[in-house]
């Protein structure tokens, strides 16, 4: 599917608080999720947000201008204080054209720590060296199988080369950047692969500050991809299996936010209440079909079932406000 790319603020001066797919997300802790891009080179068959070239639901991609992103981050940090910065994405942050500049600028803000999440598909040794030199402290790499054919299938990409990803993981482990490998366990698909990943990462681990493995639970989402024959299991069964692997490998695999220094902190104040009726100016196309993005009170709002045009002013009812992510219906 060919998608339109909206560059912020050139195409739309969207506030960077309010959207789940782009901007800055504050979930009431001392960690901020920083999302400068939605673009992804892979189409993982279990992707919870249906990202990548094979997306069925997303008709728009977003990329934020560097200076604009930093201006918003500085304003949020005035309220939040010193934070852990986590560059993630509904796609892959390494698709951001100025990712090195972004990392360097965030480091200059004297954050508590700075980590970046990626599939590793776009990583190379030179980029790892650059990121290490400017002070990136942790790379979270999501690799879900070591078997070549299964890895391609899970990534939804024939060009995916798992051996190359393994080379990069080994290179990171020998660098100044700490490594956190975050496979998604997909019951019935990669059950036998998780132990092989544990064995590999256990051997090459050099971390001093953070855990080096964080196994993720496969979840089903309304607009996410659902591999045929796979069903999400309960959290109880998930943790039971994690404990089994802990015993098998004599290794701590149960991790929590405390392992990363994450603690509760006052959130940015909500500017709307659920059920509130507001006036919204339409500013850009939405992430999905029949969605638009509106602006009110210096916040971006996703408007569902909306067929208004850019520039229109409409009335809308707020449906969601959690974590300053706003969804409304016209």
- Which tokens in the block code for residue 185? 């366990």
Same domain, 158 and 284: no
| CATH number of 321's domain | 2.40.50
DSSP H or E run through 248? helix 235-249
pLDDT band for position 330 (cuts 50, 70, 90): confident
Domain that holds residue 321: 277-329
Tell me how many degrees the CA angle 162-132-217 measures, rounded to the nearest 5: 45
Identify whether 30 is part of a domain: yes
User: 99-105 — which CB contacts under 8 Å span 24+ positions?
Assistant: 99/36, 100/127, 100/130, 100/131, 100/134, 101/66, 102/36, 102/66, 102/69, 102/70, 103/131, 103/134, 103/135, 103/136, 104/134, 104/135, 105/66, 105/70
State pLDDT tens for residues 135-188.
Answer: 999 999 999 999 999 999 999 999 999 999 999 999 999 999 999 999 999 999
Task: Provide the number of structural domains found in the chain.
Answer: 2
Same domain, 255 and 306: no
Identify whether 267 is part of a domain: no
Percent of the chain with pLDDT over 70: 100
| CATH number of 136's domain | 3.20.20.70
Identify whether 310 is part of a domain: yes
Identify whether 299 is part of a domain: yes
Task: Give the number of residues written for the chain.
Answer: 330
Q: Please count the CA atoms within 13 angstroms of the CA of 170 that sit on its side-chain side.
A: 8
Q: Pick from 232, 260, 288: which residue ends a domain? A: 260
Name the nearest CA neighbour of 310 among 4, 11, 21, 62: 11
| Residues 266-288 as b or e (16 or more Cβ within 10 Å = b) | eebeebbeeeeebebebbbbbbb
């Amino acid at each position: 599917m060919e998608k339109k790319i909206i560059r912020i603020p050139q195409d739309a001066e969207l506030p960077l608080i309010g959207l789940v797919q782009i901007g800055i997300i504050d979930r009431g802790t001392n960690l901020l999720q920083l999302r400068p891009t939605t673009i992804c080179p892979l189409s993982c068959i279990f992707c919870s947000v249906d990202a990548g070239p094979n997306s069925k639901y997303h008709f728009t991609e977003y990329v934020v201008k560097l200076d604009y992103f930093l201006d918003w981050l500085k304003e949020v940090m005035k309220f939040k204080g010193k934070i852990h910065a986590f560059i993630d994405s509904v796609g892959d942050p390494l698709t951001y054209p100025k990712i090195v500049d972004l990392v360097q600028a965030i480091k200059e803000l004297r954050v508590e720590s700075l980590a970046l999440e990626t599939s590793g598909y776009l990583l190379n040794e030179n980029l790892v060296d650059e990121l290490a030199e400017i002070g990136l402290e942790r790379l979270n790499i999501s690799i879900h199988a070591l078997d070549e054919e299964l890895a391609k299938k899970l990534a939804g990409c024939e060009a995916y080369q798992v051996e190359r990803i393994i080379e990069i993981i080994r290179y990171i482990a020998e660098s100044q950047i700490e490594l956190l490998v975050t496979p998604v366990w997909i019951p019935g698909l990669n059950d036998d692969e998780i132990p092989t990943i544990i064995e590999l990462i256990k051997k090459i681990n050099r971390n001093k500050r953070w855990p080096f493995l964080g196994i993720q639970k496969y979840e089903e989402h309304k607009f996410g991809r659902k591999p045929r024959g796979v069903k999400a299991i309960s959290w109880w069964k998930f943790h039971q299996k994690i404990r089994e692997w802990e015993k098998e490998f004599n290794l701590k695999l149960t991790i929590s936010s405390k392992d990363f220094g994450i603690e509760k902190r006052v959130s940015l104040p909500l500017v709307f209440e659920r059920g509130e009726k507001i006036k919204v100016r339409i500013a850009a196309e939405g992430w999905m079909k029949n969605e638009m993005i509106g602006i009110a009170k210096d916040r971006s709002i996703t408007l569902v079932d909306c067929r208004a045009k850019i520039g229109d002013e409409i009335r809308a009812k707020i449906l969601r406000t959690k974590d300053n992510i706003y969804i409304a219906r016209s």
